[in-house]
Structure 1
């Protein structure tokens, strides 16, 4: 039972990283990334190949995953500079599918549909049964650092520029802000965090395969951010953990329903999740922690005697 709870807490924390990643660009800059699972996969494969084939240290694999995700995000953003913002969502969705197809077909690099097994975990052989607890602490530490970074960005002038771009990019550009640069930087950072989350996932489960990076991951993370509160890092984090609790609770609930097939149980599970999200957004349209827009600073009165 303890190992199960540790497993759920670790996966929930990894989802928390993905939620913070999405919240930065969707809640911050208003950019829709439907290919989050693709950047998640890029990081997972980058770190897995670096540590299994090149035998690099695990920390080096994590850094490589962060860089690979960020580079992929930068390429995707710059390739859509002349397209309308809604086309960015389509491009990112296509990017995620391309990553999955490459992982499934380029056997010489990714082992194809067999996946990569034997991905090392930090001190896994030494820790034995304590590995899950120690790895959870590692993931929580990384999550806390990323959360503090996101809060710092959210409350900084940089974050205010991102929100201005979200509200009206043309007005922000007229105000002298380099909109393209801000978008590219935010998207690259977001994709890098998603890549790091993928690396943490791979070294925890010791196995990755193309079927583990389906678009459903992106849907779940969008549900977490929307339910927790778009635009607030704390809301995204709370939404991720609540989503994990909901996923596991729904899995147990459908098992109690008699005389239905496994396919019907899976469909019922998704229905429960959808109904729960509708209720949350109905009762709290801005999410559980809605965004708080600070008041504009008051300028001193000129000519006041």
Structure 2
């Protein structure tokens, strides 16, 4: 169970990183990307293939991010001047094109056999001092996560009280409180389990600390950018791009920047995806990964980085609980029925959420980009 919770922590952090890239594109810039998995594919394969050739891991990761950003440049240059639906069509087509390429190209990507036995980070046997260092870093990240969760929940709580003067919305506040308590409890449980696992160090424990540190750095950088003039221009473009255009802003260039940066973040997530799986195959990069990221962003609240992290925590908590609890029920006769039911429940949760809080848990209704 301890190893499973460590793996769950990695998956939640990995999808948080992946969804943060999508949130930058959609939540801040209003760019519809249905092929987000393409950037992850390039990041994963570039990192794995370069490290097999002896390239240092950090350099290989940067190369994967750059190639993913170049894909964003290629797509953006050809579609961002057109309507949003063209971008959606091109991105999902490009993701399938890349997946089919790595599936059928055998000299470089090894085709359906996948890429195996590539170097992994922190695959070491640490001494006691190194273990203590891992535990200290892990503790700092956990405290930072709880602090950011508290700040975001407090901000959303106060804003829910100030809609049209001082008219209160108890139902909205109650849902914020419930989701916040769930997320805080999950973070605490995963932290305590992580401390125990780090005392008996394994490869996945080092990867867990590594991805959490990177996630904290990326989250902090995106928070800084979203509150900077650059981020405010992106929000203005999302709402109505004719306004910043009239003010002399290069709307196309800002959209391209957001699309490339979001792709680079997804490419970074692809590196961790490769390290988590330890062997990658073309079938690992199905379109369902993109739509899982969309679920996380919508659930947490588009345009909110903290909401994206909260959405990932809630999604993977649901995933792990139903994975163990539902098979105990006598209603399901096969794994396919169980899988279909879990997807149906996710859809039901999203439908209820869209009725009660269409902006997501931590999203702002006044910044809602859907259904205006």
Q: Is TM-score (shorter-chain normalized) higher than 0.5? A: yes
Q: Which residue of 2 aligns with 1:74?
A: 73
Structure 2 length-normalised TM = 0.76
Q: Which residue of 2 aligns with 1:255?
A: 327
Count of residue pairs brought into register by the alignment: 293
Counterpart CA distance in 1 for 2:349 and 2:322 is 10
Q: CA deviation at 1:251?
A: 2.0
RMSD: 1.6
Instruction: Say which of 277, 281, 299 aligns to 2:350.
Output: 277
Counterpart CA distance in 2 for 1:120 and 1:276 is 40
- Greater RCO between the two (CA within 8 Å, min separation 6)? 2
Counterpart CA distance in 2 for 1:62 and 1:126 is 23
Q: Which residue of 2 aligns with 1:87?
A: 86
Q: SS of 1:107's equivalent? A: coil
Q: For the Cα contact (< 8 Å) 2:123–2:206, is it kept in 1?
A: no
Instruction: Go from structure 1 to structure 2 and tell me whether the alpha carbon gap of 1:265 and 1:293 turns closer, same or farther (over 3 Å shift).
Output: closer
Instruction: Say which of 332, 338, 341 aligns to 1:268.
Output: 341
Q: CA deviation at 1:140?
A: 0.5
Counterpart CA distance in 2 for 1:151 and 1:281 is 25
Counterpart CA distance in 2 for 1:199 and 1:275 is 32
Counterpart CA distance in 2 for 1:154 and 1:276 is 28
What stretches of structure 2 of length at least 5 have no aligned partner? 127-199, 368-372
Q: CA deviation at 1:292?
A: 7.5
Q: CA deviation at 1:225?
A: 0.5
Q: Which residue of 1 aligns with 2:26?
A: 26
Q: Which residue of 2 aligns with 1:146?
A: 218
Counterpart CA distance in 1 for 2:113 and 2:355 is 43
Q: Which residue of 2 aligns with 1:289?
A: 362
Q: For the Cα contact (< 8 Å) 2:122–2:206, is it kept in 1?
A: no
Q: Which residue of 2 aligns with 1:46?
A: 46
Q: For the Cα contact (< 8 Å) 2:44–2:274, is it kept in 1?
A: yes
Q: CA deviation at 1:130?
A: 2.0
Q: CA deviation at 1:254?
A: 3.0
Matched ranges for 1:11-22 at <5 A: 11-22=11-22
Question: Which digits, 9 at most, give the CA deviation of each residue in 1:81-139, with x for residues without a partner?
Answer: 44212110110000110110001000111111111111221131435952211111110
Question: Which digits, 9 at most, give the CA deviation of each residue in 1:13-53, with x for residues without a partner?
Answer: 0100011111111000100111111111110001011011x
Question: Which digits, 9 at most, give the CA deviation of each residue in 1:207-232, with x for residues without a partner?
Answer: 11111111111111101010101111
Q: CA deviation at 1:256?
A: 2.1
Q: SS of 1:108's equivalent? A: coil
Q: For the Cα contact (< 8 Å) 1:39–1:69, is it kept in 2?
A: yes
Instruction: Say which of 310, 315, 339 aligns to 1:238.
Output: 310
Q: For the Cα contact (< 8 Å) 1:37–1:218, is it kept in 2?
A: yes
Q: For the Cα contact (< 8 Å) 2:80–2:256, is it kept in 1?
A: no
Work out whether 1:226 is the aligned partner of 2:298.
yes
Work out whether 1:166 is the aligned partner of 2:238.
yes
Q: For the Cα contact (< 8 Å) 1:247–1:273, is it kept in 2?
A: no
Q: CA deviation at 1:149?
A: 0.9
